[in-house]
């Protein structure tokens, strides 16, 4: 089981950054977020032998949970948007 909780983003002076999780599979395909699209609402993604549940970026606590064993390597990226 995989669980990831987004950490709070950096706040420096008057600049606040928005951090969004991006998940990429072993074929470099975006599972959610990325390629100029942001997923704000909950969704489920099937990954070789497992299901990933994503809360969406609009939540205070962004979460990625999985059921089953992941059948491939995934890369978690964090998109940082500074204001």
pLDDT above 90 (res 62): no
What pLDDT is recorded for position 80? 81
Overall number of domains in the chain: 1
pLDDT band with cut points at 50, 70 and 90 for residue 28: very high
Domain span at 42 = 3-82
- Which range is least confidently modeled, 19-23, 35-39, 58-62? 58-62
Is residue 66 a contact partner of residue 52, using CB atoms and an 8 Å limit? yes
Cα separation, 77 vs 10, whole angstroms: 16
pLDDT band at 8 (very low <50, low <70, confident <90, very high): low
């Amino acid at each position: 089981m995989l669980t990831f909780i987004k950490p709070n983003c950096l706040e420096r002076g008057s600049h606040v950054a928005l951090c969004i999780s991006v998940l990429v599979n072993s074929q470099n395909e975006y599972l959610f977020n990325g390629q100029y699209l942001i997923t704000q609402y909950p969704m489920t993604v099937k990954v070789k032998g497992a299901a990933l549940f994503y809360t969406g970026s609009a939540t205070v606590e962004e979460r990625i949970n999985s059921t089953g064993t992941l059948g491939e390597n995934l890369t978690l990226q964090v998109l940082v948007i500074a204001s």
